[in-house]
Structure 1
Amino acid sequence: MPSFDCDLFVIGAGSAGVRAARMAAQRGAHVVVAEAAALGGTCVNVGCVPKKLYSYASHFADDFADAAGFGWEVPAPRFNWPTLKKNRATEITRLNGIYRNLLTGSGATIVSGWAQFVDAHTVQVQSSEGVETFRARNILIATGGTPVMPKLPGCELAVSSDSMFDLDPFPRRLLVVGGGYIACEFASIFNGLGAQVTQLYRGEQVLRGFDEDVRGFIAQEVRKHGVDLRVNSDVKSLSTTSGGISAALIDGTVLEVDTVLYATGRAPNVASLGLEAAGVRQREDGAVIVNSHYETNVPHIHAVGDVTARVQLTPVALAEAMVVVDRLFGKGEKAMGYEFIPTAVFTHPNIATVGYSESEACKRYGKVTVFRSEFKSLKHTLSGSTERTLMKMIVDDATDRVVGMHMVGSDAGEIIQGFAVAMKAGATKAVFDSTIGIHPTAAEEFVTMRDAWVTPQALVD
């Protein structure tokens, strides 16, 4: 039998990599994890966590304005961008330390540097201190994704989402290009922080893949909040001017801005991994191909998370990592289900959804019944804000099962998370109807919905 330096070598110490390394080590495996950047990966350092912190910061502008309707006399607030950046950096450094302690406390070994395959069992890690070589019984690829930048004249003037947290100075005029999660969230965040934000999307409507009602409703709401959202629009070229950056659009108009953010997608982070040396197959977009057990075509090499370009959400990557650990060092009983995965978009207002959109549900189930409610929340009856809330529920006619829930409104993610448990358990509309609501809350609307319409046959077809 060949000798190995470790039972599991993990490439990448992001959310999935740390979870797999820690849990495997706790089960007695000898684990080595390599990371070339800060521990925690995209989510902790330049993704979910700092983005949510900045989202909180940006909401205060609305809170100050809303307070007047409740009798509070708030002096004109001033926003200090350097303070936010400093406090965020301190918190992220704290989290980096927690991740390090979780790994070392479990018995895993951390190697700082870029890992590259030499062959199917051998990995080299190159760092400032030299090159270390490891032979591993099993290898897990968990290197996540990386922003895709445009190829157009002046593209070097644009920045990716990774750079948005430490911009200097604060961009008073921001152009956001893209219509997905990241683009929509940063447009709302910087608008709330005081920037003049223009968002361009080349398609008909932002947030492709979401329910059509949600897409139209959020576009309406972010415009009300001050984002200049333009669909069917794109950038032709970028150039520098004495006043900043000039963006020439495809319709002939020109925008002068301070910063251009391109958030038009992410690609698997596989550059220089040496996957060909290990014989690992990839898709054309670079994604590592895996089966239902997250095995590549080389059975002892696994891959999870964004590097496989499946469902690019941190909690999904964590769950996939646990399946691999259980398969390699446990009973092999865990499985990952991709139906009814809840998700949220931290725009202003927030979006949260679980299950199928109306069109998806029609294709899958045939006839469905749709319950929809739109209203001004109780808070805004005094705040003076024109912000509205949308709630939508989709029910399979044949089984009465709730198969889709969608919300645009304050704390949408917190609300939908709880209902996602009920949907995963197979709750029917009758169960929702028999549940007593908490009054007065927005969430109670989901258990009191009565007005419905049956999907037209045209949508079913």
Structure 2
Amino acid sequence: MKKESFDLVIIGAGPAGESAAMNAKKHGLSVAVVDLRKNVGGNCTHKGTIPSKTLRHSVHSMMKFNRNPMFRNISDPTLLTFRQVMETAEDVIKKQVNMRARFYSRNDVPIFHGLASFQDNHHILVDGGQDEQTILHADKIIIATGTRPYQPADVDFTHPRVFDSDKILTLNETPKRIIIYGAGVIGCEYASIFNGLGCKVDLVNPGDKLLSYMDAEISDALSYHLRSLGVLIRHNESFLSLEPNDDKVVLNLESGKLLKADIFLWANGRAGNTEKLNLAAAGLTANKRGQLDVDELYRTTTPNIYAVGDVIGPPALASASYDQGRCASSQIVDKAHPLLIEDIPTGIYTIPEISSVGKTESELTAAKIPYEIGKAYFKDTARAKITGEDAGMLKLLFHRETLELLGIHCFGDQAAEILHIGQAIMAQEGKGNTIEYFATHTFNYPTMAEAYRVAALNGLNRL
């Protein structure tokens, strides 16, 4: 059995682990990374963000082609299969893996492929299979193992018609009808994707609204848009049982409803990848979701062990995970690094997109903060008319007295990009973070960014 020693060992090669490794290495530490996969990138690259967003982009491009009358002179509307759009995602995954592998090679960070488990709080056993075992000693350790789809015990995920958000990427045929259970980010995104592929979609929601943490008006706009495209949304429904058969699946709900479809996608919850780490040997205990508790510096209850990324719970975003990894490794190398900002932007890649930063109306109302609203509907902007992407709106929340920008909520084409303009203004100090910035500065015309000027004037006119 081989034994090696490092200043820092990181378990997990996703965004959090990668950023922690590169930052620590550039500050002079000897660093090693352990990952179960043979290829770097973590769940983000292989199972989550990259494949699903690439799928979404391909389907969205097909939808734009089909509804553009200019192209009817050269082709009839067409539908691609799930397998065809997945081929594009696989190509993007390969490019991402190659790029990220170069990061490790260029910075001389070795990667140990295999299952990691603690021997104590300074030693990790890496089981690479076929009698390839290595003991790694580390002064500091960062856990960045991410999450996986939660699988209830009474659902047979081995059945060829039953999927979770990982397994769905192996789908070879486009179903005519799909049931998606769970209306969070993953459920809503895949509802958009399969609807765009021409499938009949039943989106079953255990709650009373889509994306319950989002601004209510934005959530309602998404719900209305999906319904207008033919998605059947069923709120306040609880799972009872699933009957997978050779030719269909049957979902029984506690309300007595019975739904039939070609395939079933479970998209309700995720669990931390910690059950095989032998956490007890390091003095650690995960919660019932397999997640680890950390302090504001990402330290666990064991002083030399940190945890970052989805394995510590919300916000569970690749963007935030990357910053968490960098922040934790900066603490280890005694370099000051600002903690994560309070207002972390959220991007949800439905069709069209949703993006948000700052407070919602309900939060401001509960806090008794006097706010006003400025809106710009994309259907009234020239750029949206040109592109044909006129669904959605930009919504600005601001303080009635100080005009401070308090929240930005966007639903529509390029929402995740548009949001960052407002985020930059929100982050300014003094009087630079007011809605007046958008009313007093010139925006290129025609652009989607011009919606900020329209929304600002709309809001100021309410005062």
- TM-score, normalised to structure 1, is 0.91
Closer, same or farther in 2 for the Cα pair 1:101/1:452, shift >3 Å?
closer
Q: CA deviation at 1:177?
A: 0.8
Match of 1:334 in 2: 337
Q: CA deviation at 1:227?
A: 1.5
1:442 aligns with 2:452: no
1:176 aligns with 2:180: yes
1:314 aligns with 2:318: yes
Tell me the distance in 2 between the aligned counterparts of 1:382 and 1:414. 18
Q: CA deviation at 1:242?
A: 4.5
Q: CA deviation at 1:74?
A: 2.9
Contact 1:67–1:73 (CA<8 Å) still a contact in 2?
A: no
SS of equivalent residue, structure 1 residue 77? coil
Match of 1:428 in 2: 434
Tell me the distance in 2 between the aligned counterparts of 1:453 and 1:213. 20
Q: CA deviation at 1:61?
A: 3.4
Deviations 1:239-279 (A, max 9, x none): 13352111223333322212111111112211111111101
Closer, same or farther in 2 for the Cα pair 1:365/1:8, shift >3 Å?
farther
Q: CA deviation at 1:96?
A: 1.6
Closer, same or farther in 2 for the Cα pair 1:204/1:4, shift >3 Å?
same
Q: 1:148 aligns with which of 142, 147, 150?
A: 150
Report which stretch shifted further, 312-321 or 445-454.
445-454
Closer, same or farther in 2 for the Cα pair 1:292/1:242, shift >3 Å?
closer
Q: State the one-letter code of the partner of 1:431.
A: Y
Alignment of 1:390-401 (within 5 A): 390-401=393-404
Match of 1:76 in 2: 77
Match of 1:361 in 2: 364
Match of 2:139 in 1: 137
Q: CA deviation at 1:15?
A: 1.0
Closer, same or farther in 2 for the Cα pair 1:160/1:153, shift >3 Å?
closer
Closer, same or farther in 2 for the Cα pair 1:278/1:241, shift >3 Å?
closer
Q: State the one-letter code of the partner of 2:45.
A: V
Match of 2:8 in 1: 8
SS of equivalent residue, structure 1 residue 55? helix
Tell me the distance in 2 between the aligned counterparts of 1:153 and 1:21. 38
Q: Identity over aligned residues, as a percent? A: 28
Q: CA deviation at 1:294?
A: 1.0
Q: State the one-letter code of the partner of 2:88.
A: N
Q: CA deviation at 1:4?
A: 7.5
Match of 1:405 in 2: 408
Q: CA deviation at 1:451?
A: 3.2
Deviations 1:270-328 (A, max 9, x none): 11111111012433433211111111111111111111113111111111111122222
SS of equivalent residue, structure 1 residue 413? helix
Give ranges in structure 1 of 5+ residues lacking alignment.
456-461
Tell me the distance in 1 between the aligned counterparts of 2:156 and 2:6. 47
Q: State the one-letter code of the partner of 2:146.
A: G
1:371 aligns with 2:386: no
Closer, same or farther in 2 for the Cα pair 1:59/1:143, shift >3 Å?
same
Deviations 1:415-451 (A, max 9, x none): 1122212212251112222122222233212223233
Match of 2:458 in 1: 451
Q: State the one-letter code of the partner of 2:349.
A: F
Match of 2:18 in 1: 18
Match of 1:211 in 2: 215
Report which stretch shifted further, 403-412 or 359-368.
359-368
Q: CA deviation at 1:32?
A: 1.0
SS of equivalent residue, structure 2 residue 61? helix
Match of 2:56 in 1: 55
Match of 1:114 in 2: 115
Q: 2:305 aligns with which of 282, 291, 301?
A: 301
Q: State the one-letter code of the partner of 2:458.
A: D
1:262 aligns with 2:300: no
Q: CA deviation at 1:78?
A: 4.1
1:344 aligns with 2:347: yes
Q: State the one-letter code of the partner of 2:95.
A: R
Tell me the distance in 2 between the aligned counterparts of 1:61 and 1:209. 30
Tell me the distance in 2 between the aligned counterparts of 1:342 and 1:178. 22
Report which stretch shifted further, 289-298 or 134-143.
289-298
Tell me the distance in 2 between the aligned counterparts of 1:212 and 1:445. 20
SS of equivalent residue, structure 2 residue 450? helix
Q: State the one-letter code of the partner of 2:232.
A: D
SS of equivalent residue, structure 1 residue 448? helix
Tell me the distance in 2 between the aligned counterparts of 1:210 and 1:412. 14
- TM-score, normalised to structure 2, is 0.91
Q: CA deviation at 1:378?
A: 4.3
1:274 aligns with 2:278: yes
Q: CA deviation at 1:346?
A: 1.0
Match of 1:458 in 2: none
Contact 2:66–2:78 (CA<8 Å) still a contact in 1?
A: no
Contact 1:288–1:308 (CA<8 Å) still a contact in 2?
A: yes
Give ranges in structure 2 of 5+ residues lacking alignment.
none
Q: CA deviation at 1:232?
A: 1.9
Tell me the distance in 2 between the aligned counterparts of 1:370 and 1:45. 40
Deviations 1:199-223 (A, max 9, x none): 1102111101000001111100111
Tell me the distance in 1 between the aligned counterparts of 2:157 and 2:182. 15
Contact 2:207–2:236 (CA<8 Å) still a contact in 1?
A: yes
Q: State the one-letter code of the partner of 2:149.
A: P
Q: State the one-letter code of the partner of 1:326.
A: S
Report which stretch shifted further, 371-380 or 165-174.
371-380
Q: CA deviation at 1:379?
A: 6.5
Tell me the distance in 2 between the aligned counterparts of 1:64 and 1:278. 55
1:245 aligns with 2:249: yes
Q: CA deviation at 1:235?
A: 3.3
Report which stretch shifted further, 373-382 or 286-295.
373-382
